[in-house]
Amino acid sequence: MARLERQHPDADTELHFTTPYELLVATILSAQCTDERVNQVTPALFTRYPDAKALALATTDELEPQIQSTGFFRAKSKSLSGMARAVSERHKGEIPATMAELTALPGVGRKTANVVLGHALGVPGLPVDRHVLRVSNRIGIAKGDDPVVVEQQLCDAMPKAKWTKTSDTLILHGRRICKPKPLCDKCAVREDCLYYRKTSRVAAAGRPVRKPQGTGSTAAAGRPARKPQGTGSTAAAGRPARAKK
Q: How high is the pLDDT of residue 226?
A: 47
Under 8 Å between Cβ of 166 and 154: yes
How many angstroms separate the Cα of 50 from the Cα of each of 39, 113, 124?
Answer: 15, 20, 26
Please give the tally of structural domains in the chain: 2
Residues annotated as catalytic are: 111, 129
Which residues, 6+ apart, have CB-to-CB distance to 31 below 8 Å?
A: 72, 76
Where is average pLDDT lowest: 54-68, 105-119, 226-240?
226-240
Co-location of 140 and 157 in the same domain: yes
Q: What is the pLDDT of residues 112-128, one digit of tens each?
A: 999 999 999 999 999 99
Q: What is the pLDDT of residues 62-98, one digit of tens each?
A: 999 999 999 999 999 999 999 999 999 999 999 999 9
The answer to whether residue 69 is domain-embedded is yes
Note down the domain range covering 40. 20-120
Percentage, residues of the chain above pLDDT 90: 81
The answer to whether residue 210 is domain-embedded is no
Q: How high is the pLDDT of residue 205?
A: 76
pTM of the predicted model, to two decimals? Answer: 0.80
* H helical segments located in the chain: 2-7, 20-29, 35-48, 52-56, 60-67, 73-91, 99-103, 110-120, 130-139, 147-157, 163-176, 194-204
